[in-house]
Amino acid sequence: MVSMSATIFTRKNIADSEVAEAILNIMSVAGFTPEKIGLFEPLKTTFTKQEFIRMWLDESPGCYDEEVGMTGTAGGMIAKIKKPNFSLYVSWWDCPDKKSFNTLDFYFTKQTFKSHRSDIEKLFKDSLAVTNGFYGYISESNVEDRQHVTGTLKTRLPGIFWCNYFGESFLNFFGKEKIQKYPWWKVEKGHNNGQYLYLTESPLDELLRDASYERKAKKYLGETSFGDEDQYRKKPDIIQVKSVPPM
């Protein structure tokens, strides 16, 4: 069962063969060359580089506009390998006059993470750099689920996780000096003046059992930017609108 993920948000137009090839190379170097690929489940196409890039670029109508109907384009694909258990889900939009986020989601089991921790961290960071991502994180699924509230990145931040990437807009929003003063387990420089903020040494130890790590960090940064979990439990369908970095 897949129980961990690495998520990347970018404003960059990733409907590009060079980006697709770069991500494929990053995956292959990490030991995660896909076996099966497709536009949707179940995956039936055996992987080849040419088919991977073709599916990455495959497009359909993108965003709805009340005046003109569908406008722009959108795309997405899935790539998987069984051993080690690892998947990539790509979603992108290219819509005129509309700000949209493109996402890369990598999914893997705890065992895959334990065996390939350094490879996964490098893949995450290299993929952020290639796509010029502005926000991202690595998390165990239960830690992510317990912080979930209805909404999108434009309405609330999803939480604080084991490894958090804050691009410059996020650092400026919360305050670079303030962020530096928090007792993170580790802070690393990222691309374009961003930073990787690690909450604990491992995502699979105390962080699984103790939610106080993320709660303390959210309280320090400002709880008004994150979803209210108590409110979500009472009214799960309500979109919570919080104070978030400029998107």
Say if residue 3 is in the same domain as residue 117: yes
Helices (H), 86-227: 110-115, 117-131, 141-145, 168-174, 176-181, 206-209, 212-221
What is the Cβ-side half-sphere exposure of residue 90, based on CA atoms within 13 angstroms?
A: 29
Say if residue 146 is in the same domain as residue 186: yes
CATH at residue 96: 3.60.90
Say if residue 153 is in the same domain as residue 112: no
Say if residue 122 is in the same domain as residue 160: no
What is the domain range of residue 107? 1-133
Q: What is the CA radius of gyration of the chain?
A: 18
Q: CB 183: neighbour CB atoms within 10 A? A: 8
Q: C-alpha angle with apex 79: 75 to 82, nearest 5 degrees?
A: 160
Q: Domain total for the chain? A: 2
What would you measure as the largest C-alpha separation in the chain, in angstroms? 52
What's the whole-model pTM score? 0.96
Residues forming a β-bridge with 70? 64
Say if residue 153 is in the same domain as residue 124: no
Say if residue 10 is in the same domain as residue 116: yes
Q: Cβ(123)–Cβ(27) under 8 Å?
A: yes
Q: Cβ(110)–Cβ(7) under 8 Å?
A: no
**Could you say which of 86, 117, 133 is where a domain stops?**
133
User: 206-213 long-range contacts, Cβ below 8 Å, gap at least 24?
Assistant: 207/140, 207/143, 207/162, 208/140, 208/142, 208/143, 211/143, 211/146, 213/160
| Token code pair at residue 47 | 């992987």
Q: What is the pLDDT along the chain (247 residues), one digit of tens a residue?
A: 679 999 999 999 999 999 999 999 999 999 999 999 999 999 999 999 999 999 999 999 988 766 667 789 999 999 999 999 999 999 999 988 777 899 999 999 999 999 999 999 999 999 999 999 999 999 999 999 999 999 999 999 999 999 999 999 999 999 999 999 999 999 999 999 999 999 999 999 999 999 999 999 999 999 999 999 999 999 999 999 999 998 8
Q: C-alpha angle with apex 210: 205 to 216, nearest 5 degrees?
A: 120
**Could you say which of 80, 101, 133 is where a domain stops?**
133
Say if residue 84 is in the same domain as residue 123: yes
Q: Which of 102, 139, 115, 121 shows the shortest CA–CA distance to 20?
A: 102
**Could you say which of 88, 111, 133 is where a domain stops?**
133
* Backbone φ/ψ region at 4: left (φ over 0), alpha (ψ -120 to 50), beta: beta
Say if residue 23 is in the same domain as residue 72: yes
Residues 6+ apart with CB under 8 A from 54: none
- What is the distance between the alpha carbons of residues 26 and 123, in angstroms, rounded to a whole number? 6
* Residue 68: per-residue pLDDT: 66
Say if residue 113 is in the same domain as residue 200: no
Residues forming a β-bridge with 6? 106, 138
- What is the distance between the alpha carbons of residues 189 and 143, in angstroms, rounded to a whole number? 24
Say if residue 212 is in the same domain as residue 153: yes
Say if residue 145 is in the same domain as residue 123: no
Say if residue 2 is in the same domain as residue 121: yes
Q: Which of 82, 124, 121 shows the shortest CA–CA distance to 105?
A: 124
